Structure 1
Amino acid sequence: MRLSRSFLPTLKETPSDAQIPSHRLMLRAGLIRQTASGIYAWLPAGLRVLRNISQIVREEQDRIGAQEVLMPTLQSAELWKRSGRYDAYGPEMLRIQDRHERDLLYGPTNEEMITDLLGQSVKSYRELPQMLYHIQWKFRDEVRPRFGVMRGREFLMKDAYSFDASYDAAVDTYRRMMLAYLRTFQRLGVRAVPMVADTGPIGGDLSHEFLILAPTGESGVFYDGALESKDWLSDPIDVDDSASLAGFFNTLTSYYAATDEKHDETAWAAVPEEKRREGRGIEVGHIFYFGTKYTKSMDISVTGPDGALLYPEMGSYGIGVSRLVGAIIEASHDDGGIVWPESVAPFRAAILNLKVGDAECDALCERLYDAGDEQFLYDDRTDRAGAKFADADLMGHPWQMIVGPRGAKTGTVELKRRATGERFELPAEEALAKVLGR
C-alpha cells in the first residue's frame, strides 16, 4: 500500500476524550473512528489487524477440531425465553421489533441459538462430541461506554460452544480449549494468564479468564510469579489424549492465579512471598463449563447408549477479537506510539523514501515494495523525513526500511527494528530477507 494513496488519517494531537493509551493511539494512528457512543468504524489499517488476529484465532480453533459456522447477529427473542434468560439478562441486551411486531434482539452471545441449531440436527450420542465456533459482531448496551474498543457497545468476538455426552468428555473439551487459548495468545505475541474467574450471567461451575497484564486493566489480579516465565507449550501435548490433557491442566492450575472477584486470602498466604504478584489485567478471553444448563432449559436431548434420553453437557469459550487490538496496544507501546507484535501488525514494514523524486531512491524503494507482496507500507509522500519517522513510530510497524540518497547509490538500506530501536545498514536483499524472515 502506498501511503500517498491510502486512507490512513493519522493525528498529531491527542483527542481530548481518549483516556487510555490504546484509545489515544488507535485514533492517532488511523485505525478507528467513532461513529456513535461506543461504536467504531474500522479503517483499513485497523481492519488488517482485526483480520490478522481473527486468522490466528481461527487456525488454533481448527487445530483442536472445532468447526466454523456463522450465526446471524439478530436472534429471535423466543429462543431466550425458552432458556429463561430473556428477562434475566438485563438492560445490556438491545431488544427490538420487526415490522410484524416480532421480538428480536441483537445477540450479546449465542448459547441459545447454537443449542437450538444442534437440537435440530443431532439426535444421538453417537453424533457427539460437537464443537462449533464463529467470529461475529456482538452488541451489549453498556451504560457508560469508555476506553475506546476496550469497553465499546459493538465488538467482534470469537465464541465457541461444545456439546459432549458425558461430564468427563466435557471437561476434556474444556482442557483442550484452554490449551488452544494459550497457543493463540502466544502466537499473538502477548502473555495472557489464565485465572479462576466468576461465571457471570453465562452460568456454570468451572470458569477461567485470560488476562493480559497491564496497569490500565479493569480487573485486580493475584498470581504466582512462576506463571510469568513458564512456557506451557514447550512440550507437545496430545489434545486427543485425556491423560496428557489432565496432566497439563492440573499442573497449570496448581499455581495460584485469580481475579479480585475470586481471590482467596487463605490460599494466597500459602504462596511464597517472593513469588506473589499483584496488579491489573485486561480480560481478553473467558471459558466456561456449565453442564446441561441450556440443553435442559431448552429441552434439547439426544438418545443415549442405553436408549434413554440424555442432555448434552455444554461449554462456551470466548475471545474478544476487537478488544485484543486495544489490549495488545496497552501492553506494547512507548512514547512514540504502538509497538506491534509481528504476527498482528497491519504491515510488516514501512518503506521510508527520504528523497522522493531522486531516481535512485525511487528505484530502490520500488524494488523493496514489489518484493514485499502487500506486506509493506510505502511512505512515498513528499513530507519531510521527521514526519515520516514520527508516523512510522506512531503506527508501530515492526520494521522500518529507510532509503536515502547515500544508501541508494550503493543499494544499501538502513533497517530499524521498532521494538528495540536497533539499526542495521544492510544490502537491500539482506534487509528484505531479515524483514521477511527468510
Structure 2
Amino acid sequence: MKTSKFYISTLREAPAEAVIASHKLMLRAGITRKLGNGLYTYLPLGLRSLYKLEQIIREEWNNTAEALEFKPTVIVPGDIWKESGRWETMGAQMLKAKNRGEQDMVVSPTAEEAFTVIVRDGLSSYKQLPVNLYQINTKYRDEIRPRYGVMRGREFIMADGYTMNADDESLDESYKLYEKAYFRIFKRLGLKIIPVRADSGAMGGSGSEEFMVESPIGDDTLIICPNEKCGFAANVEKAWCASDDSVNKKGEKPSKTDLPVEMVATPNVFSIEDMEKFFDESPKMFIKALIYRVINSSLDMTGANGADKWKRVKDPAGDYYPLSYVCVLIRADLDVNEAKLAATLKASEVVLAEAEEVLEYAGAPHGFVGPITAKCPLVVDYSVVKDGEAQMHNAIAGSGKDGYHITHVEPLRDFVPYINADVRTVKEGDKCPLCGKTFYTRKGNELGHIFKLGHKYTKSMHVTFLAKDGKPAEPTMGCYGIGVDRTLASIIEKNNDEKGIIWPMSVAPFQVCIVPIKYNGAMKEVADTIYEKLTKAGIEVLLDDRDERPGVKFADMELIGIPLRITVGDKNLPNVEFKPRSAAEAELVPAESAAEKAIQFVKDELAKLQA
C-alpha cells in the first residue's frame, strides 16, 4: 500500500481528555477517533490491527479451544433476559428500548441469554454435546463514567466463547482447552499475563479466572504471592489469606472469659481510632459491626432475624428479595470485601445502609451498632468465628445504644452467626494461605475472564436434553470472554516510547514501511523495487510516497509504530537504512539485499511471538 492511496490522519497533540498512553497514541496515530462520549470509531489504520487481533483469537479458539464461530444479533429480545432473571438485576448499564410493536429489546451487554436460547431450540440428545461456539461481536454497556478511550468505552468489541456440556467433567475439559488458548493468544500478542482467581459477579456460576496485565491505571487490585512455586494470584474481590491471631496491645492472645458483658459509656467515641484511645487497646480486640443494604438477594433467609419484614418475589429464574439487610461482624482492623459479601448473599449488589436504615436495624447509629442487638441476620467474618470456633475472646463491640460500647464480648456465647463466611478484604502484608509468604499488590487490567457458569442459565431458561440413561437432564455451561478493544489498548500501553507506538509484529497495521527521502529519480526506483519484492513475498508494506519533508515522514512512521523502517536516501545509495522501530540506531545495508533482510526480520519477530 502507498500512502497516497491510504488515509493517514496523525495529530501533533492529543486532546486534553486523553490522559493515558494508549488513549493519547490511538488518537494521535489515527488509530481511532472519538464520535461521542465512550464511543470510538476505528480508522483504516486501526482496523488493520484490530482485525489481526481478532484473527489471532479466531485461530486459537478454532484450533486450541476446538470452538466454532457463530454470529448472534446485537439487538436481542428483552424476553430472553426476563427468562434468565437478569432483566432487572443487570442494572442501569443495560441499554433497553422498545420497537414499534412495543416489544422490549436490549442492546446486548453480553450474550449468555442469546447463546442459551439458540442452543436450547436445537438441543435434544447428549450426543449433541458439548456445544462449543464463540462470537466476536459489538456490545454496549451504559458506563456511568467512560474513560481512557477504548479501554473503558460504552460500545466495545468482545470475543465470547460459550460451551454447553453434559456434565461437570466435560465442562472441566472445555474450560482447560480455553485456558490453554488464552495463554497462546496473549503470548502471540507479546503480553505477559497474570492469571488470577476472580469473582464471578453478575455472570454467576462457580469457578472463574481472570487474565490480567499489570498496569498503573488498572481498575483491579491484584493480590500476589512472591513465591513462584506457589503461584497464588487473585483479584482482591476474590483473594483470601491465612488466618492471623486477634491479639491485645501487649501482643498476647486473650483467652475465653466468663465475665458477663458490661456496658461502658463512651461519649464522643465514634471511630475505631477513638476506641483505641478510649480503651487503650489494639483494634484487633474490637468487633466492628456494619449494617448493609442488600439488593436482589436470591438467598433464602426464611426465619432469619428481621426477614419477615422483607418482600420475597416469586420468579421463574429463582425467588429473590429485592431489598434486605444484614449486619456484618468483622475484626475492627479489617475491611469488608463487598464483592465477597454480595457473592455470599447471592446478591447483585451490597451497599452500606443509610443512617435511617441503620437506626431501624441496629437501634443505634454507625459506630455503636452491636452484635447482640442487631435486628437482621448476622454475617460473621472468619476473623471473628471460623468453623464453629471463636477467633476472638474478651472483645469490645458496639452496644446497640447511642453513646455506649460493651466489653467482655464472647462470640458464640453472646451471639451466633446466621452466616459464617470469609468477607475480609485481603491487603498487602497479609500471608498467603498456601505457602505463608507475605503478599504484595499490583494494579491490573482485566483482558479476559473464564467462568464455569454451571446451571445458572440452563435451569432458569429451561434447557434440557435426553441423557444416556434416557432421562431429561440440564446441561452445564461455561463462558469465556476477551475484551478486544481493551487488549489492543493494553498492547499500546506496554509498547510505546516518547515518539509513539512500538507495535509487536503480530498486530502491527503494516510490518514494514519504506520511506524515500524524495520519491523521485533513483530513490523512487530503489524504493519501488524493494516494495515489489516485499509485496510479492507476502509482507505487509507501506510505501511513503508523500511529497512531505523527511522529518514529517519519519515522525509519522514512528508515531504509527510500524516495526521496521527502510529509508532510501540519495546520500546513502547504493545502501539503505534498515531500522527496527525499537532500535536506537539504524544500520546501512545494500539496497539489493534489503528486501531479503526485511523478510527474514518479519519472520523472526513472528516466530518469537509464536514460540
Please give the alpha-carbon distance, in whole angstroms, between the structure 1 residues aligned to 2:11 and 2:436.
45
CA contact (8 A) 1:284 1:319 kept: yes
Q: How far did residue 387 of structure 1 move?
A: 1.6
Structure 1 residues 184 and 295 mapped into 2: Cα distance closer, same or farther (>3 Å)? same
Match of 1:294 among 435, 447, 457: 457
Q: Which amino acid aligns with 1:335?
A: E
Q: How far did residue 413 of structure 1 move?
A: 2.0
- The answer for the alignment partner of 1:234 in structure 2 is none
Please give the alpha-carbon distance, in whole angstroms, between the structure 2 residues aligned to 1:84 and 1:133.
23
- The answer for the alignment partner of 2:565 in structure 1 is 400
Q: How far did residue 260 of structure 1 move?
A: 2.0
Structure 1 residues 78 and 348 mapped into 2: Cα distance closer, same or farther (>3 Å)? same
Partner of 1:269, secondary structure, is coil
Structure 1 residues 77 and 193 mapped into 2: Cα distance closer, same or farther (>3 Å)? same
Match of 1:370 among 511, 532, 539: 532
Q: Which amino acid aligns with 2:39?
A: I
Q: How far did residue 71 of structure 1 move?
A: 0.8
Q: How far did residue 133 of structure 1 move?
A: 0.2
Q: Which amino acid aligns with 1:436?
A: I
Q: How far did residue 73 of structure 1 move?
A: 0.4
Q: Which amino acid aligns with 2:469?
A: D
Say whether residues 1:383 and 2:359 are aligned partners. Answer: no
RMSD: 1.9
Q: How far did residue 275 of structure 1 move?
A: 9.0
Q: How far did residue 18 of structure 1 move?
A: 0.5
Partner of 2:448, secondary structure, is strand
1:2-401 alignment runs, 5 A limit: 2-63=2-63, 64-224=65-225, 254-266=230-242, 269-270=431-432, 278-357=441-520, 359-373=521-535, 375-401=540-566
Please give the alpha-carbon distance, in whole angstroms, between the structure 1 residues aligned to 2:116 and 2:71.
14
- The answer for the alignment partner of 2:373 in structure 1 is none
Task: Give a deviation string over 1:269-292, Cα, whole Å, max 9, x none.
Answer: 248899965322111111100111
Structure 1 residues 274 and 45 mapped into 2: Cα distance closer, same or farther (>3 Å)? farther
Q: How far did residue 14 of structure 1 move?
A: 2.1
Task: Give a deviation string over 1:321-363, Cα, whole Å, max 9, x none.
Answer: 1111111111111111111110000010111111222x11001
- The answer for the alignment partner of 1:242 in structure 2 is none
Q: How far did residue 381 of structure 1 move?
A: 1.6
Q: Which amino acid aligns with 1:262?
A: K
Q: How far did residue 16 of structure 1 move?
A: 0.8
Please give the alpha-carbon distance, in whole angstroms, between the structure 2 residues aligned to 1:42 and 1:386.
26
Q: Which amino acid aligns with 1:51?
A: Y
Higher helix share: 1
CA contact (8 A) 1:8 1:31 kept: no
Q: How far did residue 264 of structure 1 move?
A: 2.6
Q: Which amino acid aligns with 1:370?
A: E
CA contact (8 A) 2:431 2:437 kept: no
Structure 1 residues 82 and 337 mapped into 2: Cα distance closer, same or farther (>3 Å)? same
- The answer for the alignment partner of 1:239 in structure 2 is none
Partner of 1:163, secondary structure, is strand
- The answer for the alignment partner of 1:238 in structure 2 is none
Q: How far did residue 429 of structure 1 move?
A: 4.7
Moved more, 52-61 or 424-433: 424-433
CA contact (8 A) 1:215 1:280 kept: yes
Moved more, 370-379 or 288-297: 370-379
Structure 1 residues 199 and 217 mapped into 2: Cα distance closer, same or farther (>3 Å)? same
Task: Give a deviation string over 1:51-87, Cα, whole Å, max 9, x none.
Answer: 0000000000001210011111010001111110111
CA contact (8 A) 2:210 2:446 kept: yes
Please give the alpha-carbon distance, in whole angstroms, between the structure 1 residues aligned to 2:566 and 2:151.
32
Please give the alpha-carbon distance, in whole angstroms, between the structure 2 residues aligned to 1:422 and 1:214.
29
CA contact (8 A) 1:213 1:331 kept: no
Give the TM-score normalised by the residue count of structure 1. Answer: 0.90
Question: Highest Rg: 1 or 2?
Answer: 2
- The answer for the alignment partner of 2:384 in structure 1 is none
Identity of aligned residues (%): 40
Structure 1 residues 396 and 277 mapped into 2: Cα distance closer, same or farther (>3 Å)? farther
- The answer for the alignment partner of 1:420 in structure 2 is 583
Partner of 1:282, secondary structure, is strand
Please give the alpha-carbon distance, in whole angstroms, between the structure 2 residues aligned to 1:368 and 1:418.
18
| Count of equivalent residues | 410
Q: How far did residue 200 of structure 1 move?
A: 1.2
Q: Which amino acid aligns with 2:148?
A: F
Q: How far did residue 113 of structure 1 move?
A: 0.8
CA contact (8 A) 2:78 2:105 kept: yes
Please give the alpha-carbon distance, in whole angstroms, between the structure 1 residues aligned to 2:531 and 2:226.
44
Partner of 1:183, secondary structure, is helix
Please give the alpha-carbon distance, in whole angstroms, between the structure 2 residues aligned to 1:87 and 1:315.
23
Q: How far did residue 224 of structure 1 move?
A: 4.1
Q: How far did residue 407 of structure 1 move?
A: 2.9
Q: How far did residue 301 of structure 1 move?
A: 0.5
Q: How far did residue 265 of structure 1 move?
A: 3.7
Q: Which amino acid aligns with 2:240?
A: D
Structure 1 residues 264 and 48 mapped into 2: Cα distance closer, same or farther (>3 Å)? same
Q: How far did residue 193 of structure 1 move?
A: 1.3
Task: Give a deviation string over 1:223-278, Cα, whole Å, max 9, x none.
Answer: 24576xxxxxxxxxxxxxxxxxxxxxxx9xx5111122223343962488999653
Please give the alpha-carbon distance, in whole angstroms, between the structure 1 residues aligned to 2:90 and 2:84.
11
Q: How far did residue 366 of structure 1 move?
A: 1.1
CA contact (8 A) 1:216 1:330 kept: no
Structure 1 residues 303 and 273 mapped into 2: Cα distance closer, same or farther (>3 Å)? closer
Please give the alpha-carbon distance, in whole angstroms, between the structure 1 residues aligned to 2:20 and 2:501.
13
Task: Give a deviation string over 1:351-405, Cα, whole Å, max 9, x none.
Answer: 1111222x11001111122233261111112222222221111111111111100
Partner of 1:406, secondary structure, is coil
Give the TM-score normalised by the residue count of structure 2. Answer: 0.65
Q: Which amino acid aligns with 2:232?
A: Y
Structure 2: any 5+ residue segments left out of the alignment?
244-429, 604-611
Moved more, 137-146 or 367-376: 367-376
